[in-house]
Structure 1
Amino acid sequence: MSIVLRDKILIVEDDPGIGKFLKANLTANSYDVVITETAKSALAMISSHCPDCILLDLGLPDLDGNQVIQNVRGWTKIPIIVISARSNEDDKARALDLGADDYLTKPFGTVELLARIRAALRHTRTNLENDEIAMSGCYRVGKLRIDYRKHRVYLDDVDTNLTPNEFKIVALLGKHAGQVLTYKQMLCELWGPSVGSDNKILRVHMANIRRKIEPNPDEPIYIFTEVGVGYRMAEEEK
């Protein structure tokens, strides 16, 4: 039985009415939605929930939303779409300069918001340095295929049924195939700087991943361990 992996959206909005409206519409469009009303809780949830996209209001009760953008951009490229009543060009320019991917002024239509979210997710899943992913939305090596649009990994065209966290690990390695990603880099990118330096969580996930994708988990051909350093995805032969 296949696991349905849905894109997770974190809404950071202190107006309960707007938050409820956004959550209802995104849920109706098959997104997995979590919501919070403060900047500090948002920063904690980004690490714990690993959202695929953040909808961020700037006028939060504890910190300005721009501080959230600056903090998040210090360790991850998760797409951030600002949704704000601030329509001044300087406000827009500042948010975008700090690292926001898009800026939507309130009020806005649901159709436009959904289109902006789809665009942000497409951009983050295509690495322009990787022609294969950029053109097809997939990365292939041997009999393994990572489908970035469907959030699935296939072996011989059979779904390997990775969990959401397992998929994120494989997807990250696939985008940097042939390169060694250190434990610290992966922990920070996947779970944020607050996760610490203990790579046990990675080792546990990797053991499960190898049981699902490797013909022989003890002699991997897709994901290699660089002892004491990190992991490396096999690079497809040209």
Structure 2
Amino acid sequence: MSGVIRTALVVDDEPQIRALLAAYLARDGFEVREAGTGAEALRQATLQPPPDVVLLDVGLPDLDGIEVLRRLRRDRDLPVVMVSARTEEGDILMGLAAGADDYVTKPFRPREVAARVAAVLRRAAPAPQADPGQPEEVLSFPGLQVDRTRREVRRDDRLRELSALQFDLLWTLAEHPGRVFTRDQLLQRVWGYDHVGDERVVDVHVRSLRRALDDDATAPRFVGTVRGVGYKFLPARVASDPVPRSGQQP
């Protein structure tokens, strides 16, 4: 994206937090807008050009950040990273369910937030045009089909809506059935950066993925937990399934 100036909207009622995030994003080449309330965030999001990414606090003085996120999602498809002091798993899952692309808890490391923003923007970028001369990339399992070419997931022949991050997490696991991935390995492969924060981010997103697939956490059919290590994809692939092109990473 050389020569292209990207815009980030930082929404937080604490001026010092906005200033800290703005400084790091500006260092990465972003033009930064700021908002201290939900109402101002919604107004800023309508300005032209629209922001390329929104960093959104949950605890705002007027509108709750989750409500701001829902309203943003109604009108436009902007990548949103929640940055919140609410650290309970239920709060994080609520933010992801409302449409957040990622969720960072306070206190945070600014470099981690910048890395998350970069990863979210990579996932939001349009997929390259498929080469008609190459086979489609589809993984098929009993009760589940993952189509990387179309970025579609079918559970028992019914299409399921997954976020870009949920899809990439599922593909990473499903591409290697039975292989155990540590949380650090998943952060590097899916999020696209070395681990510098709370490993719970992986656990929460795995739970979010299970919910999207109706995968029972107590007796999972697809995503299994290896206690003290990480996660693995459980079922074997259907033998007749097309093989993905080698050497590609999500």
Q: How does the TM-score come out when normalised to structure 2?
A: 0.50
The one-letter code of the counterpart of 1:27 is A
Structure 2 SS opposite 1:78: coil
Alpha-carbon spacing, 1:127–1:74, altered in 2? closer, same or farther (3 Å): farther
Shift of 1:43: 0.5
The one-letter code of the counterpart of 2:116 is R
The one-letter code of the counterpart of 1:72 is L
Taking the aligned partners of 1:79 and 1:94, their CA distance within structure 2 comes to 16
Taking only aligned residues, the RMSD between alpha carbons, in angstroms, comes to 2.0
Taking the aligned partners of 1:93 and 1:127, their CA distance within structure 2 comes to 27
- Structure 2 residue aligned with 1:38: 37
- Structure 1 residue aligned with 2:69: 69
- Structure 2 residue aligned with 1:84: 84
Segments of structure 1 that go 5 or more residues without pairing to the other structure are 136-238
Q: Is it true that 1:108 corresponds to 2:108 in the alignment?
A: yes
Structure 1 SS opposite 2:67: helix
Stretches (4+) displaced over 3 A: none
In the alignment of these two chains, the number of paired residues is 131
Please give the per-residue CA displacement for 1:44-81, whole angstroms capped at 9, x wherever unaligned. 11011400000000000111000011101112221000
- Structure 1 residue aligned with 2:123: 123
Contact persistence 2:87–2:105 (CA under 8 A): yes
Contact persistence 1:77–1:124 (CA under 8 A): no
Please give the per-residue CA displacement for 1:3-26, whole angstroms capped at 9, x wherever unaligned. 942110000011011111111111
Structure 1 SS opposite 2:34: strand
Taking the aligned partners of 1:38 and 1:5, their CA distance within structure 2 comes to 28
Shift of 1:30: 1.1
Whose helix proportion is higher, 1 or 2?
1
Contact persistence 1:87–1:105 (CA under 8 A): yes
Segments of structure 2 that go 5 or more residues without pairing to the other structure are 132-147, 150-250
Structure 2 SS opposite 1:74: helix
Contact persistence 2:24–2:111 (CA under 8 A): no
Equivalences for residues 50-199 of structure 1 within 5 A: 50-127=50-127, 130-131=129-130
Shift of 1:100: 0.5
The one-letter code of the counterpart of 1:108 is F
Taking the aligned partners of 2:130 and 2:90, their CA distance within structure 1 comes to 36
The one-letter code of the counterpart of 1:119 is A
Shift of 1:111: 2.0
Shift of 1:112: 1.2
Contact persistence 2:24–2:114 (CA under 8 A): no
Structure 1 SS opposite 2:116: helix
Shift of 1:104: 0.2
The one-letter code of the counterpart of 1:58 is V
Contact persistence 2:96–2:103 (CA under 8 A): yes
Q: Is it true that 1:11 corresponds to 2:23 in the alignment?
A: no
Shift of 1:87: 0.2
> Percent of aligned pairs with the same residue?
37
Taking the aligned partners of 2:114 and 2:130, their CA distance within structure 1 comes to 26
Contact persistence 2:20–2:110 (CA under 8 A): no
Taking the aligned partners of 2:127 and 2:38, their CA distance within structure 1 comes to 29
Please give the per-residue CA displacement for 1:118-175, whole angstroms capped at 9, x wherever unaligned. 11111111348x436x99xxxxxxxxxxxxxxxxxxxxxxxxxxxxxxxxxxxxxxxx
Please give the per-residue CA displacement for 1:209-233, whole angstroms capped at 9, x wherever unaligned. xxxxxxxxxxxxxxxxxxxxxxxxx
Q: How does the TM-score come out when normalised to structure 1?
A: 0.52
